[in-house]
Structure 1
Amino acid sequence: MKNFRKDILFSIVLIVFLSVNATSQNKKSSVTDSETKIEKRDKKKRKKKRKKVKLPDIDLSHWKVTLPITNDEGKPLEISPPEILDFANIEEAKPYMYIDSTKGAIVFHAMPTESKTKNTKYTRSELREQMVPGDNNVNWTFEQGGTMKGKIAIDEVSKDKNGKYHRIIIMQIHGRLTNEQRDLIGEDDNNAPPILKIYWDDGKIRVKTKVLKNLNATGDELLHEDAWDNDEGFNFEQKVGFGKFTLEVKVSEGKMVIVLNNTEYKVYESIHMKKWGIFENYFKAGNYFQTRDEGAYAKVRFYELEVSH
């Protein structure tokens, strides 16, 4: 009888022990599962955060930038290759050219300041093509041709007193005199007129180009700025507003084509384009702000920018 009671007592103790041990194991398992879930959740958060960091698809090795501030000589501050490749760490550039890693774009910010380039009253935060990095003297002709393509969006822009958004030039083809041409016509610099200006104008894309005043002009006559006049301009039909859009500029001998969003085209192929072949050229892109209104500003995002020749 005593042995029987001992056996029962032992069995009860064993059952209690096993039960407690099982509960303990379940608790440990539950804690482990909970920790695993937390780790997985944190990992997803970290992964999601990493995904939000985007970089623009732009190679700056053949561009210099002009900013709306002055250097020690009182001239607009310029940053050329190779320094421009590290623009995000240049203190002077940070307010006017910076990366928006949530959008994957470079932002060009401009406003009226005392920093004006020669022959203009407006300021800019704008890229200038350099076929040879750091050198302005190597450029291209229409015969050599070239293509510039960008994906762009207007980030912010102020309005004038009438409630209309201020205008911004976002792309250009600028003419340039060679040193020989400059000396030939007695100019003191290499500036020639811009054959192309592309505006963001109150949510639409507007194109301006140059036309000859005298169609019979030849040779040296063509080199003078006053030989050329502005055309009437052209407006693309679609309104881009503040959304993303693509612009492509394609140049070949005697011809220039502007393409908006791969759906609308404007073709320039005339005597004006043919005679423009006398000039060298370079591409420009960014934010050339077209007002001096007090308190005005504009920010332009470039997601992609590509040039080829």
Structure 2
Amino acid sequence: MKNFRKEILIAILIGFISVNATCQNKKGSVSDSDVKIEKKKTKKKKRKKVKLPKIDLSHWKVTLPVANEEGKPIEISPPEILNFADIEVAKPYMYIDSTKGAIVFHAMPTDSKTRNTKYTRSELREQMVPGDNNTNWTFADGAYMKGKLAMDASTRDSEGKYHRTIIMQIHGRLTNEQRDLIGEDDNNAPPILKIYWDKGKVRVKTKVLKNLNATDEELLHEDAWDNDEGFNFEEEVGFRKFTLEVKVSEGKMVIILNNNEYKVYESIHMKRWGIFENYFKAGNYFQSRDKGSFSKVRFYELEVSH
């Protein structure tokens, strides 16, 4: 009898242990599932948010490296440019990278070239009055442009060196009266400033007078001006993000890289340039005709003031 009771107690004990173990396993199984669900939720939360560039395009038009039916480069002005992301012809050449919060300007050799150049561009042109090219500024008025940008991609030439592109400009413009005075058929004047991304460096080019004693009328002719020898900032920006500032005042122009390096132009050439009106340009003015070549420039921020 005692043995019988003992066997019953042992059986009850084994059953209790078995049930308890099963409950623990079930509990552990539910817990693992909960952890997986929580991990999925966490991953969703960690997904990158959509980023938008800090650029107001209401005072810019863009020139694209593709031609219209007349063979001229396609341009998109305000207010249409505000919806450039929905314009089919613009999509390959000017688009938003929402992972980096930038507008990408993509340019390559095509048959669509602007006047007086063999190169193509995906580049913004400042318009102080939206849709109008005839209202511009002088050095005496003062002007300021700041951009945060990076080279996104660039091909190499036959020597293995990266192709260069112009990322910012100050372009001169003749008034209608000046144009008529010298008998020109358009308002184009030389660019007083070109800033290049040049093999990972930032290079600056400006204009100098061939004859310091030239008359005001002679100054209006493009052949009165020559290119300077150029200037390279020491820092190599490569494909990293960097900041450029351009400050203009009467007789003076200052270029600033990453709030660290400065190049100041203050000379008779700057003073005499005051005869011209000007406008800013920014984007990708690609400097190669090599087959298959291209570059992409990202602009995160761009601001202008006068």
TM-score normalised according to structure 2 size: 0.89
2-structure distance, mates of 1:82, 1:42 = 43
Structure 1 residue runs of 4+, over 4 Å off?
A: 22-39
CA shift, 1:49, in A, is 2.0
CA shift, 1:258, in A, is 0.3
2:48 and 2:99 in contact (8 A); partners too = no
Deviations 1:229-287 (A, max 9, x none): 11111111111111111111000010000001111100000011011111000000010
2-structure distance, mates of 1:41, 1:99 = 31
CA shift, 1:43, in A, is 3.2
2-structure distance, mates of 1:289, 1:110 = 6
The answer to whether residue 189 in structure 2 is matched with residue 229 in structure 1 is no
Partner of 2:39: 41
CA shift, 1:55, in A, is 1.3
The number of residue pairs the alignment matches comes to 297
Partner of 1:203: 200
Please give the secondary structure, in 2, of the residue aligned with 1:161: coil
CA shift, 1:167, in A, is 1.1
Partner of 1:81: 78
Partner of 1:90: 87
Identity of counterpart residues, as a percentage? 78
CA shift, 1:39, in A, is 4.8
Partner of 1:301: 298
CA shift, 1:82, in A, is 1.0
CA shift, 1:48, in A, is 2.0
Please give the secondary structure, in 1, of the residue aligned with 2:43: helix
Say which of 59, 64, 86 aligns to 1:62: 59
Partner of 1:106: 103
Query: How do 1:1-309 and structure 2 match up within 5 A?
Result: 37-51=35-49, 53-309=50-306
Q: CA RMSD in A?
A: 2.3
CA shift, 1:30, in A, is 6.9
Partner of 1:5: none
1-structure distance, mates of 2:168, 2:121 = 12
CA shift, 1:23, in A, is 10
Deviations 1:60-82 (A, max 9, x none): 11111101001122110111111
Question: Structure 1, unaligned stretches of length 5 or more?
Answer: 1-11
Residue 41 of structure 2 aligns with an amino acid whose one-letter code is: K
CA shift, 1:225, in A, is 0.7
CA shift, 1:41, in A, is 3.1
Question: Structure 2, unaligned stretches of length 5 or more?
Answer: 1-11
Deviations 1:12-59 (A, max 9, x none): 9xxx9xxx9x999989987876665455433332322243x2111111
